[in-house]
Amino acid sequence: MNDSPTPSGPPNTPGGAGAKASGPSANPLPTTNRTSPPSNPRPAPASGKITATTDDTPQLAAADPTPTRPGPPSTPGHAGAKASGPSANPLPTTNRTSPPSNPRPAPASGKITATTDDTPQLAAADPTPTRPGPPNTPGHAGTNPSTPNANPLPTTNRTSPPSNTQPAAAAPTATAPTRGPATGPPAREQYGPPPPNSQPSYRLAEMTTLEAAAAVRVSPLVIIPAGAFEQHGPGMPLATDTIRAEHVADLVASQLAGRAVVGPSLGIGVSPHHLNFAGTVSLSTGTLAALVRDYVDSLHRHGWRDILVITGHGGNNATLTTVAQDLLVTHPGLRFAWTPLTSLAPDAVAAMRPSEVHGHSGEAETAQMLHLAPELVHRERLAPGSVTHDDLDPLSRLARRGGHPALTVPYDRLSANGVLGDPRRATPDDGLAIIDAAVHRIVTFAKEWLDTTG
């Protein structure tokens, strides 16, 4: 007697109480062979049910062909899944139980079909070859078994999709798969020539060697920006002096109508008096002098005879004066000049009504940066330094007296934050006035110089 409970379900449902055995798939004899699912199945009921045979020996119904796979316990198809509900197998057996009683539709591939001798056989193999591609791509060898094209049985033969599925996409041919667009660098022809400049560049760094050779004949003056790499208080960048010098050099060259080019910058200067502030990098006077001489010697070799250094850092002044003297001997046919910036615009600085003590990182320098590179100024951090003589100790007051004799002291003695003056009072308009005045003075000098030398 079959002591397995008869599962409830609609008539003609495999395993249901009212199911009729019909069609070539029915097996009226006691056998361990398994029948195939109907040709148009609904989602398969729970497998592993006990069915009655003629000798009343309980037997397992058709096993779920889906192989076990790794996953957490109670995952359908997992070897450690807990059997419960109508799907449980009450008999001790080594056969695996099926997934829970309300599984998803069974995979289409790997169906068992009955033959004339009731021996289970695999249906016709799917001739579609596997092909490389991302996981879960139809036909991919690494497709997850949950996809319609997966093969859940340990075999290379795969069955076709069920008859009630949506029309399958056209099977690919056995030829090599079509590759996507190349992922390497674009072909050379995709890089067209750069658009023509609206005006010739006056920066040597942007020229080719052929353009530089031509510039020697039409642009006899080379302008070299010089600066420093030193503290400029809590609100301005270390390269403040170089940034200002480079901007002014560009402005001067642009107003000389092609008669000048801008050469390589000298981005580090003589700054030992700022070395007690973090970030400062300094050259010795001898190193800066050697760099200037090497710059000049290279340019002279190519044919340039007029060199102008625009320095944004006062600490370079003494070295530039010394180099100018040396070049009179080493390069007698060369004409060398240098100029500071802020001191060329005394009227514009005085119009700002700066503090009694002012200078480094104070009103004038901050105003220039607000005009030329405002994105680099941290206005919320700007703070006054020493603003009156009473803020200085006796030796510092002597050093700031001006004129000669001259005394040099480190800047951390002059100001605790490295600032002389009150940068909070600076405005971009003040900076524009200073820059305009300095550029005008330099351009006027350069034109007269070039007109004199021919």
Tens-digit pLDDT profile for residues 273-301: 999 999 999 999 999 999 999 999 999 99
Q: Establish if 231 belongs to a structural domain.
A: yes
Q: Establish if 286 belongs to a structural domain.
A: yes
Q: Establish if 19 belongs to a structural domain.
A: no
CB of 229 closer than 8 Å to CB of 271: yes
Q: Establish if 305 belongs to a structural domain.
A: yes
pLDDT of residue 320: 98
CA distance 406 to 291: 26
Paired sense of beta strands 335-339 and 306-311, if any = parallel
| Distance from chain centroid for Cα 328 | 51
Q: What is the extent of the structural domain holding 222? A: 204-453
Residue 158: HSE in the Cβ half-sphere, 13 Å Cα cutoff:
24
Q: Establish if 164 belongs to a structural domain.
A: no
Provide the domain count of the chain.
1
Q: Please name the helix (run of DSSP H) or strand (run of DSSP E) that holds residue 442, with its range, or none.
A: helix 428-453
Read off the DSSP letter of residue 420. B
Question: Model confidence over 229-238: pLDDT tens digits?
Answer: 999 999 999 9
- 406 contact partners, CB below 8 Å, separation of at least 6: 399
% of the chain with per-residue pLDDT over 70: 56
CA distance 35 to 179: 43
CA distance 280 to 266: 15
CB of 158 closer than 8 Å to CB of 140: no
pLDDT of residue 433: 98
The residues facing 59 across adjacent strands are: 51
Instruction: Using the predicted structure, report yes or no on whether residue 264 has a pLDDT greater than 80.
Output: yes
CA distance 151 to 326: 88
pLDDT of residue 402: 86
pLDDT, averaged across the chain: 74
Least confident of 188-202, 237-251, 370-384: 188-202
Q: How confident is the model at residue 161 (pLDDT cuts 50, 70, 90)?
A: very low
Instruction: Using the predicted structure, report yes or no on whether residue 160 has a pLDDT greater than 70.
Output: no
R_g of the chain computed on alpha carbons: 45
- 306 contact partners, CB below 8 Å, separation of at least 6: 220, 221, 222, 334, 335, 449, 450, 453
Instruction: Using the predicted structure, report yes or no on whether residue 339 has a pLDDT greater than 60.
Output: yes
Q: Establish if 36 belongs to a structural domain.
A: no
Residue 373 CA: distances (Å) to CA of 213, 263, 428: 33, 21, 10
Residue 50: HSE in the Cβ half-sphere, 13 Å Cα cutoff:
16
Residue 266, classed as helix, strand or coil, is: strand
Tokens, residue 364: 């004038």
131: nearest Cα among 171, 177, 168, 178: 177
Question: Model confidence over 354-366: pLDDT tens digits?
Answer: 999 999 999 999 9
CATH number of the domain to which 421 belongs: 3.40.50.10310
Place of tokens 């037997």: 59
Instruction: Using the predicted structure, report yes or no on whether residue 326 has a pLDDT greater than 80.
Output: yes
Question: Model confidence over 201-226: pLDDT tens digits?
Answer: 799 999 999 999 999 999 999 999 99
pLDDT of residue 199: 59
CA distance 115 to 24: 8
Rounded average pLDDT over 82-93: 42
Q: Establish if 287 belongs to a structural domain.
A: yes
% of the chain with per-residue pLDDT over 90: 55
Whole-model pTM: value is 0.59
pLDDT of residue 107: 45
Q: Establish if 246 belongs to a structural domain.
A: yes
